């Protein structure tokens, strides 16, 4: 989806809370760049048992990006004490009252209720996790980004060859995706005026409200406009805004021409 960077004075204060057991250090640079679209990462913490060799790959990233490691020993087997520590910290930060939103980085469904609770308190929740993330956690967030699209080709090949970046879908593949087609058409209809034309920014917001995990990059396109152009089911026009001289993209269902 497409976003316009806010002026620094309007930047939202965000807490970035990472579950080290369910995230990979290979994504951290692109993850923080992604979060910068939504606001300033005021708090950056990562949770895990740092006495374990399994987390040794995180050391360089923690130093480079000034992420505070929070030690949580695994007191018993088959119990994830890391999740509990992250949840407790999140609630402490919520009650402190100086944050606008939270970024929860994990593929674990245990954070579903946390995301819901934060939103109930009026905070924005951005989730980040792999495509294996259970749907309830995805739906509990305002927006959910799959971390596969944050990986570069080099990182994917060197770190985990099985997790290659998403390739661009063809027009036939896109048109054959009934769920995608219905989502786009319904969102354009819900965002349009009587003439059927809809501002693409409004369409993007409607899509996000309906489907938190939607992202044009999941289909191999950097921007939502690229996806709309590739699928070939919509008329597209660019109109210049007289007050700002910035071109605004409008879309309309081609079926209205018949």
Query: Bridge partners of 234?
Result: 253
> What is the C-alpha separation between 82 and 86, in angstroms, rounded?
6
pLDDT tens digit at each of 258 positions of the chain: 444 444 444 689 999 999 998 888 989 999 999 999 999 999 999 999 888 888 888 888 899 999 999 988 765 544 466 788 999 999 999 999 899 999 999 999 999 999 999 999 999 999 999 999 999 999 999 999 999 998 754 454 445 545 555 688 999 999 999 999 999 999 999 999 999 999 999 999 999 999 999 999 999 999 999 999 999 999 999 887 767 667 889 999 999 876
CA 227 from centroid of its chain's CA atoms: 17
| Euclidean distance between CA atoms 139 and 127, whole angstroms | 9
Domains and CATH numbers, the chain: 8-159 (3.40.50.1010), 171-257 (3.30.420.610)
- d(CA 151, CA 30) in angstroms, rounded, equals 7
Q: Residue with structure tokens 């005021």?
A: 42
The edge-to-edge listing of strands for the beta sheet with 40-48 is 68-71, 40-48, 13-19, 101-105, 124-129, 143-146
Q: What is the pTM of this model?
A: 0.83
For Cα atoms 252, 166, 212, give the angle at the middle one, nearest 5 degrees: 55
Give how far the C-alpha of residue 29 lies from the chain's centroid of Cα atoms, to the nearest Å.
14
């Amino acid at each position: 989806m497409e976003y316009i960077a806010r002026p620094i004075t309007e930047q939202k204060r965000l807490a970035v809370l990472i579950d080290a057991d369910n995230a990979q250090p290979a994504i951290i640079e692109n993850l923080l760049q992604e979060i910068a679209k939504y606001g300033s990462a005021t708090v950056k913490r990562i949770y895990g048992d740092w006495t374990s060799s399994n987390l040794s790959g995180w050391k360089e990233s923690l130093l480079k990006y000034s992420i505070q490691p929070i030690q949580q020993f695994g007191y018993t087997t088959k119990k994830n004490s890391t999740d509990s520590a992250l949840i407790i910290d999140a609630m402490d930060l919520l009650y402190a009252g100086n944050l606008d939103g939270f970024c929860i980085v994990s593929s674990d469904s245990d954070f579903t209720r946390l995301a819901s609770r934060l939103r109930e308190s009026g905070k924005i929740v951005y989730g980040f996790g792999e495509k294996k993330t259970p749907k309830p956690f995805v739906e509990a967030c305002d927006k959910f980004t799959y971390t596969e699209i944050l990986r570069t080709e080099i990182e994917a090949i060197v770190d985990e060859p099985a997790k290659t970046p998403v390739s661009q879908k063809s027009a036939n593949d896109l048109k054959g995706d009934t769920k995608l087609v219905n989502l786009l058409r319904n969102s354009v209809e819900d965002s349009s005026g009587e003439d059927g034309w809809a501002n693409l920014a409004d369409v993007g917001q409607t899509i996000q409200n309906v489907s938190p995990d939607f992202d044009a990059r999941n289909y191999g396109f950097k921007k939502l406009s690229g996806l709309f152009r590739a699928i070939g089911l919509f008329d597209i026009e660019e109109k210049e805004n007289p007050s700002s001289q910035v071109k605004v993209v409008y879309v309309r269902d081609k079926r209205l021409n018949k």
